[in-house]
Structure formats: C-alpha cells, structure tokens
Structure 1
Amino acid sequence: MHHYIAGIFNLPFIHVLSVATLTGMTLHTSFVAGIIQFRTLPRPTFGNLQAKQFPVYFSIQAAAFALLNLTTYKLMKCPFTKALNVVGLSLALLNLVFIGPWANKVMVERHEKEKNKEDVTALSKKFGILHGVSSLANLGIVFIALFHCWSLAQYIK
C-alpha cells in the first residue's frame, strides 16, 4: 500500500498536477469565469469579486510555477522551457505582489469617488493602465502554460 502513497509524491506526478492546475485554472478564469462575471455582474460587484478572487488566483499561479520550476529543472532538458517557467513565475509574482494590490487600491478609491459623485477620470485612466499590464502578464502566463503543455506532450510516445 505504501508504494501508492509514495507515488503521489514523485516528481512527474507533481509536475503534471502543477501544469494541469496552472493551465486549467488560468484558461477557465481568463476565458470563461471572468467573461461571464463581467457580463453578468454590476461593475462594483464585479470589481469587489475580482479583488477577493485575484490574490488567490495569482497565489496559485505562483505556487504552480514554483513547483514547475523545481520539477522542470530535474525532469526536462529544454532550456527554453526552463526559462519560460522562470518568466511565468515572475509574471505571477508581479501580479500577486505589485500590480494586483495597486490596481485594487485604485479601484477602491474610484468606487469611493463615484459614491461621492466626484470626478474619476484620472483614477479610471490609472486603473485601465494597471488592468492592461496585469492582463498582458496573465496573457503571457496563458501562452507559457500552453507552451509547457505542448513541450510536455513531446515526451508522450
């Protein structure tokens, strides 16, 4: 029985689980859940939901890339894949530590000014820039995750 438990903690299993989690979650959040939420919810509710959702989302992306970096180093030979995983981890951490919290702060300020009927033009522009940078980082993660899946598929004979 213990060999089944030991099998859960082997590097290939951790690697596949990490890339599957990263790819599935990123594609679902970016192209399914996010679009449905945006089209369905009022803007303040949508923003508040994303403010709660994205720290968890970015944390899982960063954790998955951390595991991928560790397992890729041991399991795969392609230096390009290894380099892309470092870029992916950097993008996830950028969103988690800097862009996400900054955009959230600007969003809260904008909501407060809107409630008080104040001008939000400058805050909207700032938020748009932050959202754009975050979206580009996330799109980079999408491409890196898909490339990693393609690269991993080359090992299947």
Structure 2
Amino acid sequence: MPTEGEPTDLFKVVHLLILSASWGMQLWVTFIAGFVLAATVPRHTFGLVQSKLFPYYFFSVLGCAFLNLIIYALYHPRELLNTQESIQIALFFICVILAAVNAQWFSQTTTETMFKMQQIEKEHNLGQEVGVHSKRDTYNQLKEKDPKYKKLRQRFMRYHGLSSLLNLICVGCNGVNLYFTAVSLSTL
C-alpha cells in the first residue's frame, strides 16, 4: 500500500545505503575488478572467477534495485508523481528488469558458452597466458581453423556484449537516481 507523506529517517537511510552500496559495487565490478583480473591472472582463471562472481553480482544488483523500487514506490504514489519522481521510479524499474535478465539468462548463457570455448582452447594448449590480449593471433587462428570454436566465440561475444550493455545501463540508472536523491536529500 503506497504511503504518501514524508518517509521516516530510517527509510531514508536504508534507501540511500542500498542505492549507494549497489552503485559502488557496480562501479567496482564493472570498472576496476574486471580490468585488474584480466591483466593479472591467466585467461581461464579470469573466466572461472567471473563465472563464480557474476551470479552473486547480478542477483545483488537485482535485489538492491528491487528494494530501492519498493521503498521509493511506498513513499511516492503514482497519482502524486512529478516528472523527476516519475523518471526515478522508471529508472529503478528498468534496473530491476535488466538485472533480472542478466541474472537469469545472459550471465548463464555467457558462462556456459565460455566453458565450451575453454574446452577447445585447452585442447590447443591455450588459456594459461596472463592478459586477455596475449596470443591474440593464436586465438584468431583457432577461430579460423575450427568452425565450432568460431560459432561459440560469436555466441560468447554476442551475449557478453549484451550483458555488458545491460550492466552499463543499470550503472547509469543508479547514477542518475543517486544524482536525483542527492539534490533532494530532504525527501526520499
């Protein structure tokens, strides 16, 4: 049941903590952890770490977005929304949908495809080099020689790209919501 009026201080703090924790986690995973791992651990280790990390990450983003949407919607009934509030609630909803798609489909499909690619790479003694760009020519040669690998690589790139795009949109949604929240700290 929507509640109009001023939210309690507890709800304001919870909302801000969830939103800022989610955005901070998104920035760390998207722009720092991935690049550091890609540059410092073997390629297959990097894939394994991401395959274990991303389900927790996407479900955490989903949970935070859902909680933020619920808290925000409780204190902003649809009938009373102004333009800024309508944008915020739409951004929370978009983030929920995109995080759910990533958590339930793109992440799993990308990981399954990556493991199939890694099996073929292991047969060709690839995957233990550090850095995602090392031995690029060797991977390109494998792609040209092996049609199954080429098809898997195309599928991987498609789903990884879509997953990354959805993730970046969620980062943007939360960034805009943080901006709107910061400029109107007297309300939720």
**TM over 0.5: same fold?**
yes
* 1:34-53 CA-partner distances (Å, limit 9, x unpaired): 11111111111100000000
> What amino acid maps onto 2:33 in structure 1?
A
Q: 3-state DSSP class of the match of 1:10?
A: helix
Q: 3-state DSSP class of the match of 2:70?
A: helix
Unaligned runs of 5+ in 1: 1-8
Q: How far is the alpha carbon of 1:17 from its aligned partner? A: 1.2
> What amino acid maps onto 1:130 in structure 2?
Y
2:175 corresponds to: 146
2:69 corresponds to: 69
1:5 corresponds to: none
Q: 3-state DSSP class of the match of 2:184?
A: coil
1:4 corresponds to: none
Query: Deviation above 4 Å: which 4+ runs of structure 1?
Result: none
2:15 corresponds to: 15
Contact 1:14–1:67 at 8 Å: present in 2 too? Answer: no
Instruction: Give the one of 143, 148, 151 matched to 1:122.
Output: 151
Structure with bigger RCO (C-alpha 8 Å, 6+ apart):
2
> What amino acid maps onto 2:53 in structure 1?
Q
> What amino acid maps onto 2:178 in structure 1?
C
> What amino acid maps onto 1:116 in structure 2?
E
> What amino acid maps onto 1:66 in structure 2?
F
Identity %: 28
Write the mapping of 1:43-58 to structure 2, written as runs, cut at 5 A. 43-58=43-58
For the residues of structure 1 that align with 2:28 and 2:111, how far apart are their CA atoms?
Answer: 21
For the residues of structure 2 that align with 1:68 and 1:16, how far apart are their CA atoms?
Answer: 9
Contact 2:91–2:174 at 8 Å: present in 1 too? Answer: no
For the residues of structure 1 that align with 2:115 and 2:102, how far apart are their CA atoms?
Answer: 17
2:130 corresponds to: none
> TM-score, structure 1 length as denominator?
0.90
> What amino acid maps onto 2:106 in structure 1?
I
> What amino acid maps onto 2:73 in structure 1?
Y
For the residues of structure 2 that align with 1:43 and 1:128, how far apart are their CA atoms?
Answer: 15
2:115 corresponds to: 108
Greater Cα offset, 40-49 or 70-79: 70-79
For the residues of structure 1 that align with 2:68 and 2:185, how far apart are their CA atoms?
Answer: 18
> TM-score, structure 2 length as denominator?
0.75
Instruction: Give the one of 84, 89, 96 matched to 2:96.
Output: 89
Over aligned residues, Cα RMSD in angstroms? 1.7
Q: Quick check: which one's helix share is greater?
A: 1
> What amino acid maps onto 1:108 in structure 2?
F
Contact 2:69–2:93 at 8 Å: present in 1 too? Answer: yes
Contact 2:58–2:99 at 8 Å: present in 1 too? Answer: yes
Unaligned runs of 5+ in 2: 1-8, 125-141
